[in-house]
Structure 1
Amino acid sequence: MAISSSLGIGSGMDINGIVSQLVAAEGQPQFNAISRQETVAKAQVSGLGSLKSALSTFQTAVRKLNDINLFKTHLATSGNEGIVKVAAGTGSVAGSHTVQVTNLAKAQKSVAAAEFTGASEVVGSGTMTFSVGAKTPFSLTIDSSNNTLAGIRDAINGASDNNGVTASIINVNNSTNTGTISKLVLTAKDTGLANAFSVAVVGDAGLARLDSSTPANFTGEAAKDANILVDGQAVTRSSNVISDVLQGVTLDLQSAVQGTDVNVDIKLDNEAIKKTITDFVAAYNTMTSTTEKLGKFAGKDGGSNGALLGDSTLRNIRNDLRQQTSVPVSSASSAFNTLKSIGIDIDKSGVMTMDGSKLDKALATNLSSVSDVFSSSDGIATRLNAKVIQYLQTGGSLDTRQTSLNKQLKTLSDKRDSVQLRLDNVQKGLMKQFIAMDIAVGRFQSTGSFLSNQINQWS
């Protein structure tokens, strides 16, 4: 009876529809109010996220300028990269030098004279001891588990204490060029005399063929050191990559040409410095553009207001960044102690611009002061970085705002659930009332029909 009545069988009314409309009329104003507050809060959370992202990107550019090594960056060039390539790093000093490569460093390569029919042929048994320069020797036991040519190769390469030798197998013509044989090749992992190796064998006659103390057992190339002349002074190194002759400069030897001097020039890398400053200018303008959009007031122009319109934190950040770029740097010389004095200016609309010619002049006139403007203890990049850290740190103003907004969203979500629970109870109560009414109407109609039938019969 209750089910049929809930469908309006007794009264003919759409009980479900009526109850739904009544519940909606009761709850919609509250849901609308919650939704409006959620929309505002979510927009602010998103706006704060955009602000933090912009600050983080800006900080990356600022930190590059805050690195004092930037203004010590040098560019090294070689007069002949076919002979020597050069690269300047931290600590390099401007200057010109000549480099002559008389010998390249080489790794020892020893080819066993013994010929084998293939990698699976048994060589012999015993112990092989490898000595590599002044390093601790390592030994291998050769027995039935690894006494083939391939087994010895793998044992050498797989030794955990192998400190400088690799083994391989080559398949070549035999001594009479009438067939193919296999040979063992041993190669030093590193170049130079300090990495030369020897092999001592204690074992049977087969394995003794790999003892390097017998000169006839191996052919190949001996280890060699690199020999160069730098400004006429002799230099010997075990590697072809030399980084301890010219301070902060790496020499990468490519070929040996005796009697040929290569000019190596090291000079301040103005282009790298200018690019870093240019990136800073672009990052500042991007940061400014982001804060303007977030704090925008649409007014009569139409469109939407910024997500952080009227936000005090946004306003403080914008003012702080602008102020830090305009305050003179006390540690720099009076001639170059502001951004404007080295060619960087901010117009009335807040856009930062750079005069490349003026910056070049400042770099050429007083590099130290330009460095101080950015990276000294009270330099602009130093101050900006400190401010950004303050805003981005956990517990900072932005983090606190986001935490507060997320709590507000959680409260609104709980409030929505509370309203929905109340409406569910209201709906249940209304359904009971309408169902009871429907049942009563049904009964009245049934009684009325009965009485009408009786009267008609009496008549």
Structure 2
Amino acid sequence: MASPIIPSSGLGSGLDIGSIVKVLVSGDTSAKQAQIKRQTSNNSAMISGIGSLRSALTAFQDAMKKLNDKNAPSFNAFAATSGNESVVKVKSNNTAVSGNYDIVVNKLATSSKVASQQFSNGANSAINAGDMTITQGGSSYKVTIGSGATLQTVRDQINKEMSANGISANIINESGGSRLVLTSTKTGAGNDISVGGIPDLTIDGTKQMSGTGGGFINALAQDADLTVDGLKITSATNTIDKAISGMSLELTGVSAKAADGTGTSTRLTVAQDNDGLKKSIQGFVDAYNTLQKAVTSLTATSKQTQDGKEVTVLGPLTNDPTTRSLLSDMRGVLSQAVSGGQLNSLSQLGINTSKDGTLEFNSIKFTAAMDDKKLGGEVQNLFTSDNGIFALMNKAIDPYNATDGSLATRKSNLDKVAKNLSDQQAALDRRTDSLTESLTRKFVALDTALGKMKAQANQITSIFDALNAQKKNG
């Protein structure tokens, strides 16, 4: 409701109607207005605090997730390097052993690539209907070709139905005609592709293509062939996990040949990686301390001067029981023992809790744990195992920060309170407008009546003044 226009003063009475109405309306509504304002401020601060807390918790959990990335594992006790990554790349895990290894790659594992006979009409060549059978490595797959098919539609159908099995098709246009070419992602000897069932598309993948007939294009699929310190190893794939304990090899090229025809070796070096471990541990400590500082800022009290007086200012979550419970659960994880080996607590790595709740990382104690006690191989288990620090920390946080957790419930309830306060404010605004309008009408009416009475009094006074004047003149 729009506020009525209040005259500043009465024409008949000279009263300041606007000020009188304003004081009366304020006396009726000020207590409720102050209550709504106070409650809205407190509720808004709480909503902001809950949002900030959830953001800080999510950032901490994301940091732990990154440190626990299985594709880029942290907390490895050993680091492996390759002298020539164009021949072999290497990764190590916590079961590796420090040392050097000489690798010679004689052959890379390859997959099968076969071609059909030539078709003079190209991609539009007609193909007879029937069941095509594609065989590879002891597995057979059926592709039903309908009537009216062409070399192009057969290609498209193979790609649609066989992509999940790692087999794809394309059409190569060469001098004299076109061929259907099938390629596999599966490497290793014995994994050659053969096609049967439809005479025009029959391919014997164990025979080389010749003339206009089909067969394998360059070579049969083959195993990788390499030596490790002179010991011969073969593998169906170019990723080899079990050739050297604790190491994964990725073959990327064939070793260059020396003058005598032997392959030139690539040196792999495995060494203890204290610096890498320290960096990962420091990453966890920093992430936890960032969270702890955020919570401290939300729950702290401070002294401020207002109107010449010192007052205590509370943070949005000061004395909040949910936040206190969350901190207690998280701190419990820091002191909890993790089973599985000699290393079962953060304190053994030099990580301790300071008075303000943040973590301190003692590098001297950490170095002693690595060099003297040889605990490097157990650091990963302490943090990333099913019962490790990360799992226990997420278990402590999830009941609060999950989409259906207690903080989300708190936020929902606070939003309802905010809506209720907004409704109360709207109702109070309507009452303020209504009361202002009502009082204004009454005072304007009073002013009008007083004006009339004043006019009448002036008229009567004028009559008596006239009579007195006549009497004096007579």
> TM over 0.5: same fold?
yes
The CA deviation string for residues 313-336 of structure 1, in whole angstroms up to 9 with x for no partner, is 4567667766875x59597999x8
- Residues 373 and 415 (structure 1), Cα distance of their counterparts in 2 relative to 1, 3 Å cut: same
The separation in 1 between residues aligned to 2:198 and 2:134, in whole angstroms, is: 14
Question: 1:27·1:419 contact (CA, 8 Å) conserved in 2?
Answer: yes
Q: Which residue of 1 aligns with 2:39?
A: 37
Return the alpha-carbon distance in structure 1 between the equivalents of residues 164 and 131 of structure 2: 12
**Among the aligned pairs, what percent are the same residue?**
28
Could you say what secondary structure the match of 1:195 adopts?
Answer: coil
State yes or no: 1:114 paired with 2:110: no
- Deviation per residue, 1:398-425 (Å, 9 max, x gap): 6676567556545544543453344344
- How many equivalent residue pairs? 440
Out of 100-109 and 253-262, give the one that drifted further: 253-262
Aligned to 2:52: 50
Match of 1:419 in 2: 428
Q: Specify the code of the residue in structure 1 equivalent to 2:33.
A: F
User: Could you tell me how far apart the structure 1 residues matched to 2:164 and 2:344 are?
Assistant: 59
**Contact 1:296-1:309 within 8 A present in 2 as well:** no
Q: In the alignment, residue 227 of structure 1 is paired with which amino acid?
A: A
Cα deviation for residue 278 of structure 1 reads 0.4
Correspondent of 1:275 among 276, 279, 286:
279
Contact 1:165 1:186 in 2 (8 A): no
Q: How far apart, in 1, do the equivalents of 2:95 and 2:284 lie?
A: 25
**CA-CA distance at 1:311 after TM superposition:** 1.7
Aligned mate of 1:187, from 182, 187, 197? 182
Q: Which of the residues 134, 138, 142 maps onto 1:131?
A: 134
Query: What does 1:171-186 align with in structure 2 at a 5 Å threshold?
Result: 171-172=173-174, 174=175, 181-186=176-181
> Do structure 1's residue 293 and structure 2's residue 289 form an aligned pair?
no
How far residue 60 of structure 1 moved from its aligned partner, in angstroms, is 5.0
State yes or no: 1:305 paired with 2:313: yes
- State the 1:430 CA deviation: 1.6
2:113 and 2:193 in contact (8 A); partners too: no
Q: Select 2:224's aligned residue among 223, 227, 232.
A: 227
Please state whether the residue corresponding to 1:221 is helix, strand or coil: coil
Change (3 A) 1:262 1:228: farther
Q: Please point out which of 55, 68, 88 is paired with 2:92.
A: 88
Alignment of 1:59-458 (within 5 A): 59=61, 74-88=78-92, 92-94=95-97, 96=99, 97-112=101-116, 114=118, 116=120, 118-120=122-124, 122=125, 125=128, 127=130, 129-133=132-136, 134-141=138-145, 143=147, 145-147=148-150, 149-159=151-161, 163=165, 165-172=167-174, 174=175, 181-190=176-185, 191-200=187-196, 202=198, 207=200, 216=211, 217-218=213-214, 220-231=217-228, 232-246=230-244, 249-257=247-255, 259-267=263-271, 269-294=273-298, 295-299=300-304, 305-308=313-316, 310-311=318-319, 313=321, 339=346, 342-345=349-352, 352-364=359-371, 365-367=373-375, 388-389=397-398, 392=401, 409-410=418-419, 412-438=421-447, 440-441=449-450, 444=453
Aligned partners of 1:65, 1:128: CA distance in 2, in Å? 51
Q: Answer whether contact 1:63 1:385 (CA < 8 A) is retained.
A: no
1:287-319 per-residue CA deviation (whole Å, 9 max, x = no partner) reads 343244330313469999352475264567667
1:167·1:184 contact (CA, 8 Å) conserved in 2?
no
- Compared CA separation, residues 309 and 300, structure 1 to 2 (3 A): farther
Taking a change above 3 Å as real, the CA distance of residues 167 and 278 of structure 1, as seen in their structure-2 partners, is: same
Contact persistence 2:92–2:247 (CA under 8 A): yes
Match of 1:178 in 2: none
- Residue 238 of structure 2 aligns with an amino acid whose one-letter code is N
Output the CA distance in 2 between the equivalents of 1:456 and 1:242: 126
Note the alpha carbon deviations across 1:212-261, whole angstroms, 9 max, x for none.
78965036223322232454554443332334544564322222336444
Evaluate the alpha carbon distance shift between residue 377 and residue 259 of structure 1 in structure 2; reply closer, same or farther with a 3 A threshold.
closer
Alpha-carbon RMSD across the aligned residues, in angstroms, is 5.0
Is the CA contact 1:138–1:161 (under 8 Å) kept in the aligned structure 2?
no
Mark the CA change 1:359 to 1:390 in structure 2 (over 3 Å): closer, same or farther.
Answer: same
Q: Which amino acid letter does the alignment assign opposite residue 319 of structure 2?
A: D
Instruction: Say which SS state the counterpart of residue 305 (structure 1) adopts.
Output: strand
Q: CA deviation at 1:42?
A: 1.9
Report the residue type matching 1:419 in the other structure: L
Partners of 1:241 and 1:331 lie apart in 2 by 33
2:123, 2:152 within 8 Å by CA — same for their partners in 1? yes
Instruction: Check whether the contact 1:140–1:156 (CA below 8 A) recurs between aligned residues.
Output: no
- State the secondary structure of the residue aligned to 2:84: coil
Deviation at 1:104, TM superposition (A): 1.8
**Which consecutive residues of structure 1, in runs of 5 or more, have no partner in the other structure?**
175-180
Structure 2: stretches of 5+ with no match in the other structure: 256-261
| Range with bigger deviation, 231-240 or 101-110 | 231-240
Q: TM-score, normalised on structure 2?
A: 0.69
Query: Match of 1:108, SS?
Result: strand
The whole-number CA distance in structure 1 between the counterparts of 2:357 and 2:320 is: 19
Aligned counterparts of 1:221 and 1:426: Cα–Cα separation in 2 = 95
Deviates more, 1:387-396 or 1:252-261: 387-396
The alpha carbon displacement at 1:362 in A equals 1.0
One-letter amino acid of the counterpart of residue 255, structure 1: G
Aligned partners of 2:380 and 2:297: how far apart in 1? 33
